Chain A
Amino acid sequence: MVVATASAVEPIKPIPTTPVVDTAKAELGQRLFEDPLLSRDGTVSCASCHDLEQGGDDGRRVSVGIDGALGALNAPTVFNVALNFKQFWDGRADTLEAQVDGPVQSPVEMGSLWPDVVAKLHRDETYPSQFAAIYTDGVISREKIKDAIAEFLRSLMTPNSRFDRWLAGDVDALNEQERSGYALFKSYGCISCHQGANVGGNMFQVFGVLNDYFVRRGNITEADRGRFNVTGNEADMHAFKVPSLRMAAHTAPYLHDGSAATLRDAVDAMFEFQLGRAAPDADKDAIVAFLSTLAGEQVPLRRVKESESP
Chain B
Amino acid sequence: MTSALKIGFVVSVPILAMAAFFWWLAGGGSEGYRGASANIRSIQQLAAAWSVETAVARSNPNADYDALAGFIPEAARLKDALLETVQATASMPDRLVNDVYAFVNALDAKEERIERFKTSHSVIRNSVRFLPNLAASIARSTSDALLASDVMSLADGLGEYAALPTEATKGRLMAIVDRLAERQEAMSDDLASEVGFFLSHADILLDRQEPTRLLFEQATSGEVSDLADSLVAQIDAQAATLEGQANVFMAGIWASAVALLLVWVIVAVLQSRRTPSAEGAVASRHMALPVPAEPLPLAAPEEPQSAADEWASPPTPNVSRKLVMTHRITAEVVGLEIAERVRRLPASQRHGCDDAEQIAELATRLASASPAPSDRYDLVALEDCVRAALVATEAERGATVVTEFGDAPQIFASEVELCLVLEQIVDNALWAIGERDPDADEGVIRIKTAADDATALVTIIDNGIGLAAEHREHIFEPFAGTREDRPGIGLAIARHIVHKYNGRIAISSQPFAGTVVRISLPGMPA
Contacts and interface: CB of A to CB of B under 8 A. Distances in A.
Contacts of A202: 64-66, 68-69, 118
B379 to A, nearest CB: 63
B62 A10 contact: yes
Chain B contact residues: helix, strand, loop or mixed: helix
Nearest to A275: B197
A155 interface: no
Nearest to B133: A187
B306 interface: no
Interface in B109-164: 112, 115-116, 118-119, 122-123, 125-127, 129-130, 133
A12 interface: yes
B193 interface: yes
A114 to B, nearest CB: 19
Given A189-B130, A204-B115, A235-B116, A11 B62 contact: yes
A203 B65 CA distance: 7
Contacts of A86: 69, 72
B66 A197 contact: yes
Chain A contact residues: helix, strand, loop or mixed: loop
Contact of B119 (A12, A191, A195, A204): A204
Contact of A192 (B112, B123, B193): B123
Contacts of A11: 62-64
Contacts of B193: 277-278
A189 B126 contact: yes
A134 interface: no
A9 interface: yes
A276 B204 CA distance: 12
A12 B133 contact: no
A187 B130 contact: yes
A120 B98 CA distance: 41
A239 interface: yes
Interface in B400-418: none
A205 B204 CA distance: 14
A193 interface: yes
Interface of A: 9-13, 83-86, 94-95, 187-189, 191-193, 195-198, 201-206, 209-210, 231, 235, 239, 276-278
20 contacts: A11-B64, A13-B64, A187-B130, A189-B129, A189-B130, A192-B125, A195-B65, A196-B64, A197-B64, A197-B66, A202-B64, A202-B65, A202-B66, A202-B118, A204-B118, A205-B119, A205-B122, A205-B123, A239-B119, A276-B197
Q: Which 6 A-B pairs have the closest CB atoms?
A: A85-B69, A192-B126, A196-B64, A196-B66, A189-B126, A195-B64
Interface of B: 62-66, 68-70, 72-73, 76, 112, 115-116, 118-119, 122-123, 125-127, 129-130, 133, 193, 197, 200, 204
Given A192-B122, A203-B69, A204-B119, 16 more contacts: A10-B62, A11-B63, A84-B69, A85-B66, A94-B76, A192-B126, A195-B65, A196-B64, A202-B64, A204-B115, A209-B204, A210-B200, A231-B112, A276-B197, A276-B200, A277-B193
